[in-house]
Amino acid sequence: MKKIISTVLAFAIMGTMSTDVLAYSNESYYSVPSMIQYTIENDNMGDIVNRHQLLNQENEQVATCLDCENGYIIYDVNDCIIEYSPTAESPYANYDDIVYYGGPLEYVTEENGEFFDITTGNNVSDFDFEPIESSEYSIQTFSSTSNIRDVSWTVKGKTRLLNYNVGDLKACGSLATTILLFYYYDYVSHDYLKSAYANDPQKTFETLRKIIEPQKTGTNCEELTSGIEKAYKQVTSLTSLETVSRFSGDYWGMTYYNVNALNTPVIAFLLNHPIYKTHWVVAYGTKLRYSGSKIIYKWYVVNDGWGNDNVVINSNYCAGIVYLTKCK
């Protein structure tokens, strides 16, 4: 099984880029924009092994996915990078037929007239993908990548690769909370989880899910925060734990502060999921791309909740964050 998604991507415009040919082994016929080529080479993704045109529900191309030996990269029709990973396998690696895209982490295929999410297998019969407008990136031409450089920050520890949100559970908020709590348990204090939960991540997830999801407390930052605070009483040994939600302002900057100054991840939610409306991930890093002294990209480095980390997501798709700020 797989699941639907419709999309009309109108993401931040990166502008017109020069087009180069990647002279990779026997894949030299792949002609890609120079900024995409730079990313593939800079992140050591290896040869391009396949190329997919990603469509919306009207069968219009909205993006391109390049499968590489060591990862993948997805960019929109304006050559703006939406997401990539130098380590995770392409979500479209096993698909040579027509495929679809619904935004970050939303990969879709069609079977017998029905649409399915490639990651979860869910059938999607209804969707509402809204284009994102942004003035964050100015229109400019990159005739050369000689002045391009990347700077990144990640937490010192590793987030756990848990993948319990399968089928139709729709519990990505609970899973992201589980991953976040286990990071605190592993690297901050064992008091963040009672022993009965510390030894059983899936039990922790199921407990959180029963508290958070039935109350529909994971559909926005404030509601997820409320659900987390209720769940704390069940799973943590701490008598007081403060949670903050931010659904306005500089999400990327606050994530950078948590990662760089506090060495702690945050929960970030991505817009425009066709079923869940939002999709929760754990952001454990931030990344900037400069052209000279100008910032041209802001990214989050995330654990996607499906067993992959080191997935890089364009900051335009983050609609808020939730994080821990205090314990007594």
Domains and CATH numbers, the chain: 19-146 (no CATH), 152-327 (3.90.70.10)
Q: What DSSP character marks residue 249?
A: S
H-run or E-run covering 270: strand 266-273
Structure tokens at 252: 């990327």
pLDDT of residue 255: 96
Nearest-angstrom CA–CA distance, 56 and 209 = 32
Of the candidates 68, 76, 72, 71, the residue with the CA atom closest to the CA atom of residue 27: 68
Instruction: Give helix then strand counts, H and E, for the chain.
Output: 6, 16
pLDDT of residue 316: 87
pLDDT of residue 216: 52
H-run or E-run covering 278: strand 277-291
pLDDT of residue 143: 54
Nearest-angstrom CA–CA distance, 218 and 84 = 26
For strands 99-101 and 48-55, give the pairing.
parallel
Structure tokens at 97: 């037929």
Sign of the CA dihedral running 62, 68, 73, 77: negative
pLDDT of residue 227: 82
Using DSSP, state whether 92 is helix, strand or coil: coil
Nearest-angstrom CA–CA distance, 178 and 302 = 14
Nearest-angstrom CA–CA distance, 215 and 13 = 38
Are the CB atoms for 165 and 282 separated by under 8 Å?
no
Are the CB atoms for 135 and 41 separated by under 8 Å?
no
Q: What DSSP character marks residue 320?
A: E
pLDDT of residue 48: 96
pLDDT of residue 6: 35
Nearest-angstrom CA–CA distance, 170 and 186 = 26
Nearest-angstrom CA–CA distance, 121 and 115 = 10
Divide the 328 residues of the chain into consecutive groups of 10 and give the mean pLDDT of each group. 36 36 41 91 96 88 93 91 95 91 86 84 61 44 73 97 76 91 94 93 92 63 78 81 78 95 94 60 97 93 93 90 75
Sign of the CA dihedral running 110, 111, 113, 116: negative
pLDDT of residue 115: 85
Structure tokens at 187: 């690297």
What b/e sequence results for 259-292 when a residue is b if at least 16 CB atoms lie within 10 Å of its CB, and e otherwise? beeebbbbbbbbbbbbbbebbbbbbbbbbbbebe
Return the beta strands (E) in 120-233 as ranges. Answer: 148-154
